[in-house]
Amino acid sequence: MDYQFFLLIKQSFTTELLLSNILEAFQVDRKLVKQTVMTSVYGVTYVGAREQIKRRLEEKGHITDDRLLFSAACYTAKVSIQPSYKDILWLF
C-alpha cells in the first residue's frame, strides 16, 4: 500500500472520529437528521442532505466556526444517507 494513501486514510479516519465526538457532545437528536432521512426515499442528493443538516446545526448554535460547521454537516450527511444492508437486501 502506498504510504501517502495510508496517511490519507488515517487522517480521514481521525477527522471523522473527531467530528462524531463533537456531534455526540452536542446531542445529535432526531430533528437533526429527520428531514434528510424522510427525503432520502425521494432521492435527496448528498449536497441537499448536507444543506438540510447544516441548517439544523446552525439553528442549534453550538458550532460557530464555519469550517467545522461545514465539516460536521458533510460527515452527518454522509452517514445519514448511506444505505443500510436492510435497504439493499430487498433488491435480491
What does the domain layout of the chain look like in residue ranges? 3-83
DSSP 25-79: HTT--HHHHHHHHHHHTTT--HHHHHHHHHHHHHHH-----HHHHHHHHHHHHHH
* pLDDT tens, residue by residue, 18-73: 777 777 776 678 888 888 888 877 888 889 999 999 999 999 888 888 988 898 89
pLDDT at 1: 46
